[in-house]
A = this chain, B = another copy of it.
C-alpha cells in the first residue's frame, strides 16, 4: 500500500476548488468533473423500492440472507434482457457495483499476474492492482509490471496490442476518452487474448450510452469472447444508481485457467466468502429497471444526459477545440495541444468557475486533455459552456 500515490486526483481538485472559494466566496461553481449522476430515479423504480420496503415489513414479504450470487429472478432478467439469453443466468453475479467487483476480481487473480491497461484509464484498475501487490515500483507515473497501452486520437483510441499479459483491463465506451470500440477493434482484442491466453476484464459500465447500432454493447457479442473475457457492468450511470449501488459481473463457464479449471468456480467462492449479496430491496429495483415500463423511462434518463454531451461538444466545436467522445459515451475528451491538463483545469476553474477533470489524472497519455462529464443538469451544462466561451481561455 505504501507504493500508492495517495489519492492524488480528486483531493487535488477539491483543494483547488476550496482555494477559489476562499478568494471568491460568491463564485457559483459548476461541476462537469466527476461522473456523478444528478437526475432523480424514475417513477417506476421508486415504486419498486417502496414496494420492496413495505414487503420487508410484513411476515410474508420479509427476506433475510439471499444468495450471495444475487436474486435468481434478477440474474435471469439480466441474462434475458441485456444478453439476449446468450449468457446463462448462472453466469450472472449480482453485486454492489462495478468498482467493488473489480476489487474482488483483483483479489481472485492475486498478486502473481501481469497486467495491461488502456492509457488513459479509470484509476481503479491500477490502484487495486497496486494494493493486491501485483505491481512493482512507480516511476514517472507508471508502475512496474503494468503495461500501459496508449490510446490517442492518432490510433483512434484503440491501442497497439503487442505485449502478452495475464490480464487486460479494457473499458468501452471508454472512461475517460468517450471512445467506443468498433466490432472490428473488439474482434482484434479478443483474438489477441485468445492467442496469448490472456483474460480480458471488460468494463461495460457505459454500454447503454451507445447509440450506434453497429457498436457492440457487450464483449460477449464478439465471437470467442466467452473463452477469454469477464464483463463488469452496473446500473450506476444507466439508471442513476451511483448512490443506490447495484451492478453485475459475467463470468462465462467457458473461461478457464491454463490448467483447465473454470474461473467461475473461484469467482463463486470469492463472492460467497467476502461478499454477502447486494441489498435485497435494491435488487428488486433492478428488476423494475429491466421491465418494459422501467426500461422506457431509463432510456429517457440516458437521453437527457446525452443531450448534455451534445451541448458540451457543440460548445467546444464552436470554440474550435479538438474534442472526442460524447456520441456513444457520456464523456467528452477535449485536447489542448501544448498545454498541461492541470493548467487548463485551473484556467477554467479560476476564470469560468467550471470544474472539469484533468486528463493527466487518468494516466500519462491523458496529458494535454480535459474530461467533461455530461452527468450534470441541463441548465448548468448550458451555463458552464456559455461561461467557458466568454472567457475564451480555451482558444488555441
Interface residues of A (CB under 8 A from B): 1, 4, 6-7, 34, 36-43, 45-46, 49-50, 53-54, 56-59, 61-66, 96-97, 99-100, 102-104, 106-108, 110-111, 124, 127-128, 131-133, 240, 242-245, 265-266, 269-270, 272-282, 375
Contact = CB atoms under 8 A, between A and B. Distances in A.
Nearest to A57: B46
B127 A273 contact: yes
A34 B64 CA distance: 11
Contacts of A102: 274
21 contacts: A1-B270, A34-B65, A38-B62, A39-B62, A43-B57, A46-B56, A64-B240, A65-B242, A66-B243, A96-B245, A96-B276, A103-B273, A107-B132, A110-B133, A128-B273, A128-B274, A131-B269, A131-B273, A131-B274, A243-B277, A244-B281
Contacts of A133: 110-111
B276 A99 contact: yes
Given A53-B53, A245-B276, A6 B40 contact: no
Nearest to A44: B57
Contacts of A108: 1, 131
B39 A46 contact: no
A38 B282 CA distance: 19
Contacts of A275: 99-100, 103
A269 B54 contact: no
A236 B34 CA distance: 33
Contacts of A272: 7
A122 B371 CA distance: 46
A242 B67 CA distance: 11
Given A39-B62, A59-B40, A107-B107, A278 B245 contact: yes
Nearest to A49: B53
A42 B59 CA distance: 11
Contacts of A64: 36-38, 240, 242-243, 375
Nearest to A61: B40
A43 B127 CA distance: 42
Given A57-B43, A244-B279, A277-B245, A269 B4 contact: yes
A276 B56 contact: no
B269 A6 contact: yes
A59 B50 CA distance: 17
Contacts of A104: 274
Contact of A57 (B7, B38, B40): B40
Given A42-B57, A65-B242, A96-B245, 13 more contacts: A1-B269, A7-B272, A40-B56, A40-B61, A40-B62, A49-B56, A50-B54, A64-B375, A65-B243, A99-B275, A131-B273, A243-B279, A244-B279
B243 A280 contact: yes
Contacts of A242: 64-65
Contact of A100 (B41, B57, B276): B276
Contacts of A59: 40
Contacts of A107: 103, 107, 131-132
A62 B279 CA distance: 19
Given A269-B4, A274-B124, A275-B99, A41 B57 contact: yes
A269 B56 contact: no
B277 A279 contact: no
Of A39, A46, A57, most B-chain CB atoms within 10 Å = A57
